[in-house]
Amino acid sequence: MNTQLNGHTNISNGVLASPLAMKHVNGIHEVEVYSVAFNANLDPSKLTVTQTDTPKPLPEPSSLVFGQTMTDHMLVMSFDPETGWTVPVIQPYQPLQLDPASSCFQYCPNVFEGMKAYLGPDGEPRLFRPDLNMRRMELSVDRVALPPIDGHALLKLIKKLVIVDKRWIPSQSGYSLYIRPTIIGTRPALGVAASSHALLYVIMSPTGPYFPTGPKPVSLLAVHENVRSWPGGTGGFKLGLNYAPAFEPQRRAAEKGYMQILWLLGHEGERRITEAGQMNFFAVVKREDGDLDLVTPPLDGTILPGVTRNSVLALAASHSPLTPLPNITPSQRINTHEKPITMSDLTMWYSSGLLLEVFCVGTAVTVASVGRIGYEGKDMILADESRMALGVVAGAISEKIIAIQEGRFQWEGWSVPCKE
Ligand SMILES: *Cc1c(COP(=O)(O)O)cnc(C)c1O
């Protein structure tokens, strides 16, 4: 029996391993999962750092494959319902030791984030809008009822970790250090229940441009037989459980010659576009008055609220004679819209020559133009897939975002130094 008390999940019948937290409610033993959590909040001032004795040689930047090489150190801390968060530790990168019954292996209460550190012109590492990643992580953690985290405290610790492994950030433009904060449920019991225990760790990997030979347009296969997300589901959160179900459809799309899936949602005649692979989706549509519409699906719970998505909308809306985007006529307005896009909208824009560009965005790729979309046996051709180029709007936004990320252009405090 589950009951809700004070916003915390309470699980009866003593299924939790924490008898100290038990109390009596209406004659039933109730265990308040987080009742003692706040005794030991995540405290960045207690950080201890143990440097490795055997630093690894740095890889040749041109040889980097996304997410394959890890840096020398990691940040680790764990949560116990009786004692709260342990003291955070930066230690040499090493395997984890976990009880095989840990809930992360069974019921997947697993959350992650993806962010990057860039080397600024002053040689100091910078993060891009990290407050948004931290807030999103807090919400993802809540969605699977993991012990709550304090995003402000975690950000302080991530900045420290980046500084410890600063030598791993490649200095060339287009290169960065990919940061993967992760929280897994470690409750060592098989009962199907929220994880009272958690392990929080952060690992990092140096990374180069997503398409090493240039910004190759991606091909998308529009799929409705499988869905990535649904109303009331978890598509709007960065949970590990959202990704494995995409692997088999992704394999079939690749066999048909498409790089990513364009995920649709809804019955025939509706078929709304949600996302492309693990990226947010944008269409550029020509208006009768000569201005442009930039359209992306709204955050209705089925769309991952991307930091890049949010930044693209803000930069496009800022395009004006005073703050023009590169290579776009300053007087041409870009009207941004967060509204549903159906496959029939897209097909109609395409066949009437109004669909100027389609592009996808996310931290890993930044901005990728779409060259071809397969739907019901036909291809819409949007760009030459053999040409290494971004569309005009995709290119302008990509150039501006990367300049802000790398600290070469100041914009609204988006680029945050790690040094405090
Ligand atoms: C991470 C992710 C994105 C991109 O989000 P960013 O914050 O821009 O990196 C988009 N869609 C999905 C499904 C994702 O997991």
CA distance 186 to 231: 29
Q: What is the pLDDT of residues 67-82, one digit of tens each?
A: 999 999 999 999 999 9
Tokens linked to 128 = 């891009």
DSSP assignment string, 49-102:
E---SSPPPPPPGGG--TTT---SEEEEEEEETTTEEPPPEEEE-------TTB
Average pLDDT value for residue range 264-274: 94
pLDDT value for 40: 66
**DSSP state, residue 42:** -
CA distance 392 to 166: 34
| Ligand 1 contact, 304 CB (< 6 A) | yes
pLDDT value for 1: 34
| Ligand 1 contact, 130 CB (< 6 A) | no
Map residue 124 onto helix, strand or coil: coil
**Locus of tokens 């703050």:** 323
Nearest CA to ligand 1 atom 6: 306
For residue 238, the ligand 1 atom closest to its alpha carbon is 15
| Ligand 1 contact, 280 CB (< 6 A) | yes
Question: End-to-end CA distance of the chain, in Å?
Answer: 47
Residue 280 sits at the vertex; the CA angle it makes with 306 and 383, to the nearest 5 degrees, is 145
Ramachandran angles phi, psi of 287, nearest 5°: -100, 160
- Identify the structural domains of the chain with CATH numbers, from first to last: 42-207 (3.30.470.10), 218-409 (3.20.10.10)
Ramachandran angles phi, psi of 85, nearest 5°: -80, 140
Least Cα distance to 86 among 19, 186, 10, 159 occurs for 186
User: What pLDDT band is residue 384 in, cutting at 50, 70 and 90?
Assistant: confident
| Ligand 1 contact, 102 CB (< 6 A) | no
Average pLDDT value for residue range 341-363: 98
User: 264 Cβ partners below 8 Å, 6+ apart?
Assistant: 222, 223, 224, 227, 271, 272, 273, 274, 343
User: 220 Cβ partners below 8 Å, 6+ apart?
Assistant: 258, 259, 260, 261, 262, 276, 277, 360, 370, 372, 373, 374
Map residue 338 onto helix, strand or coil: strand
Q: What is the pLDDT of residues 113-139, one digit of tens each?
A: 999 999 999 999 999 999 999 999 999
Nearest CA to ligand 1 atom 5: 306
CB 217 within 8 A of CB 382: yes
CA distance 13 to 82: 18
| Ligand 1 contact, 114 CB (< 6 A) | yes
pLDDT value for 32: 43
pTM: 0.90
| Ligand 1 contact, 311 CB (< 6 A) | no
User: What pLDDT band is residue 307 in, cutting at 50, 70 and 90?
Assistant: very high
Q: What is the pLDDT of residues 209-253, one digit of tens each?
A: 887 777 889 999 999 999 999 999 999 999 999 999 999 999 999
pLDDT value for 34: 44
The secondary structure element, H or E, covering residue 31 is: strand 28-32
